[in-house]
């Protein structure tokens, strides 16, 4: 990752998310109730994302048609979508930790999530 970021003129524009932290934030800072791999967990996350993006159904269906399930699982599609929805909150993002340290290249070691 550092090699990739090192080739970008402005790497500070690339931020890291963690899907479950992203869902937690979008769910008004409350944990999701079900495991993401279960039907209930998928539906719970799908419904939450639908409140932030009107095209969730279309995006999920397009991804399922384009990729075999062994290549991309349903929860991978939903995880990617939570990253996209989180990006819509820029520049209003919180970080974990609140004051991140920087790595040897000066990049912040952080996970960002939506500031509601």
The per-residue DSSP string of 44-103 comes to HHHHHHHTT-TTHHHHHHHHHHHS-TTTS-HHHHHHHHHHHHHHTTTTSEEEESSS--B-
Give the mean pLDDT per block of 10 residues along the chain (116 residues).
Answer: 60 83 98 97 98 96 93 95 96 96 88 96
Angstrom distance (rounded) from CA 83 to CA 45: 13
pLDDT at site 88: 95
Q: What is the rounded end-to-end Cα distance, in angstroms, of the chain?
A: 29
Enumerate the domain spans of the chain: 2-114
């Amino acid at each position: 990752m550092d090699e990739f970021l090192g080739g970008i003129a402005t790497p500070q524009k690339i931020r890291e998310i963690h899907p479950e932290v992203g869902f937690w934030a979008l769910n008004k800072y409350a944990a999701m109730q079900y495991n993401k791999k279960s039907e209930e967990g998928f539906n719970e996350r799908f419904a939450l994302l639908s409140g932030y993006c009107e095209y969730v159904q279309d995006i999920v269906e397009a991804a399922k048609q384009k990729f075999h399930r062994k290549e991309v699982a349903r929860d991978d599609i939903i995880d990617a979508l939570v990253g996209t929805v989180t990006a819509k909150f820029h520049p209003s993002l919180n970080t974990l930790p609140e004051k991140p340290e920087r790595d040897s290249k000066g990049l912040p070691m952080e996970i960002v999530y939506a500031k509601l």
